[in-house]
Structures are given as C-alpha cells and as structure tokens.
Amino acid sequence: AQLASHASAWDGPAEDLPKAIRACTRCPLHCHATQAVPGDGPTDAALMVVGEQPGDMEDLSGRPFVGPAGQMFDGIAATAGLNREAAYVTNAVKHFKFKPRGKRRIHQRPETSEIEHCRWWLHAEIAKVRPSLILAMGATAAQSLTGNGARLLSRRGSIETGPEGRPVLITLHPSYLLRAPDQARRERAKAQFRQDLVMAAELIA
C-alpha cells in the first residue's frame, strides 16, 4: 500500500521515510540516477528548505545541496542569520534528471508529471517535520508546494499557502544566482535572495 500511486499519503513510520524514498521507483527518473536523495536535517526543524532536485554532486553523495548551489545557499544564509544546520533541507524531486554529454551529466528540468509523482514524498516529509515555515527555492519547488506554476520573479519575497495550510515563502533558486545571464542580474538576484533569507530567519525567530 505504501507505493500505491493513488493513495493519498505515505503511511509508514516516520523513521522509515528516508529508506522508503531511497527505494522509490514511482517514476522513471530512478532508472538513471545513482540514488534518490531524501531530505536532511533535524526532523523537528522550524524551517524546511525545498530546492528542485539533486544535482550531480548530490546524486553521487546522497545528500541535498552539497554542490555549487548548496555552497551559494550556505554562504548567503550565513550572512542572513539563517542557520542551515537547524533547517530540514530537501528537494521537490528526489532523483537527479540529466542528459549525458561526453563525461558530463547535464541537468534537465523535471516535468510536471515527475514533480507530481514526487510530491507524495515531499508531503510525507512535511507531515513528519511539521515546519512552521517552508522556503521554496525556485519555480519547481514553488509549483510543487503551492500548485502555482506562474513566473517566479514576480512572486519572490511573498508568502503563499502550501500543504497542510503551511506558509510557503517563495524565493529564487540559488543556481539562478550563479547562472543569471549577466553580472548585474546575478548581483540583483543575490541581494533579493539574501533579503528573502533574512525574512525567513525573522519569521521563524
């Protein structure tokens, strides 16, 4: 019953959740990824941080946000008064989706159906952690958590309603801070991201 795709919620014991996520075959993404990456952090965290999906380094290590996007997040969080170690950090999609190009694996954006299959696990994590605030980083997390797929730049810095009626603070994805097309946009994105993290820190204080 745990993996039946039409059941409304995962009903196993909370401590078995990471193991169940690692065993997931609910969508085809598990075929090529090294492993699923469950959330990480205290299970009584006030803040849950949600990204898109594991990247190359997360896929290899099995832990969320350990690569370049994670370093960007950690660096700005530290200056915003937000302690990453106190947060539960996870992703909307638990497997890395990529296209091989030579020796490299190029990130591919997850499809709506993949986001929807994996929402089952995100909801189970939310039910386990019961965070008082969820930080949605990027469009995939925002879509999964709020059902709203509208453009992110006009929504960031605002609070929307997520699963179980929990508040979801919308912000940019830290990769965007690295990849925005020009220096001016990268700098502006960093300032906006930092402002959102300050707001998150104040909301959970």
Residues that bind ligand URA (CB under 6 A): 51-55, 58, 64-65, 67, 69-70, 91, 175
> What are the Cα distances from residue 98, in Å, to 25, 113, 176?
17, 16, 18
Q: Which is nearer to ligand URA, 55 or 131 (CB)?
A: 55
Question: How many Å separate Cα 145 from the centre of its chain?
Answer: 10
For the CB of residue 166, give the shortest distance to ligand URA in the complex, in Å.
Answer: 20
Q: Which residues have a Cβ under 8 Å from the Cβ of 40 and sit 6 or more positions away?
A: 63, 64, 88, 89, 90
For the CB of residue 59, give the shortest distance to ligand URA in the complex, in Å.
Answer: 9
For the CB of residue 102, give the shortest distance to ligand URA in the complex, in Å.
Answer: 21
CB atoms closer than 10 angstroms to residue 56: 16
Q: Which is nearer to ligand URA, 165 or 192 (CB)?
A: 192
Q: Give yes or no for a contact between 130 and 68, defined as CB atoms under 8 angstroms apart.
A: no
Q: Give yes or no for a contact between 49 and 106, defined as CB atoms under 8 angstroms apart.
A: no
For the CB of residue 9, give the shortest distance to ligand URA in the complex, in Å.
Answer: 24
CA distance 89 to 22: 16
Q: Which is nearer to ligand URA, 29 or 69 (CB)?
A: 69
For the CB of residue 173, give the shortest distance to ligand URA in the complex, in Å.
Answer: 6
Q: Which is nearer to ligand URA, 1 or 91 (CB)?
A: 91
What stretches of the chain show up as alpha helix (H) in DSSP? 17-22, 56-61, 68-80, 112-129, 139-146, 174-179, 183-204
Q: Which is nearer to ligand URA, 40 or 116 (CB)?
A: 40
| Position closest to ligand URA via CB | 51
